[in-house]
Amino acid sequence: PNAAPTEKFKLGVDFFESLQDMREYLCAYGLPSRAKHTRISDDDMAELEQWIRSAHIKEPYEEHATTTSDRMKPKEVKNILKGLGYQFSKHFEFYLLPDTSCHKSQVGRDRFEELIDLFNHIARFGLSSSGDG
């Protein structure tokens, strides 16, 4: 708040315009190491980690929606992602974000060789849609 970026302190890395911006950053890059004398209970830490992990879930949401036992199968998830513009190659075993050229893509950035790596990318950075790349 009321801070200006400098060479040492960067907006979106060291400070944020909103709590949601910080939450999304922590979701993507993780919590920093704890200071030596930090006091936080295991329960509070678990709640904080859950809050960070759900950064890309539109609120308000029902609590049971994130812990349901009716888990979707990977095939169902892939069909939904295809509808959003994600690309899947059975022959070459890779997954691309929407609007990504196979020839210009980079593994780990917009091309993934394992489905779990794509899912982890989406969990960290949220869904991409056609036009967002």
Q: Which residues contact 132 (CB under 8 A, 6 or more apart)?
A: 98, 99
Q: Are 16 and 28 in contact (CB under 8 A)?
A: no
Give the count of alpha carbons within 13 A of 38, CB side only: 10
Residues 6+ apart with CB under 8 A from 100: 87, 110, 111, 133
Greatest C-alpha distance within the chain = 53
pLDDT tens-digit map of 19-77: 888 888 888 887 777 767 778 788 887 888 877 777 766 655 555 555 444 566 777 87
Residue type, 54: S
| Predicted TM-score of the model (pTM) | 0.53
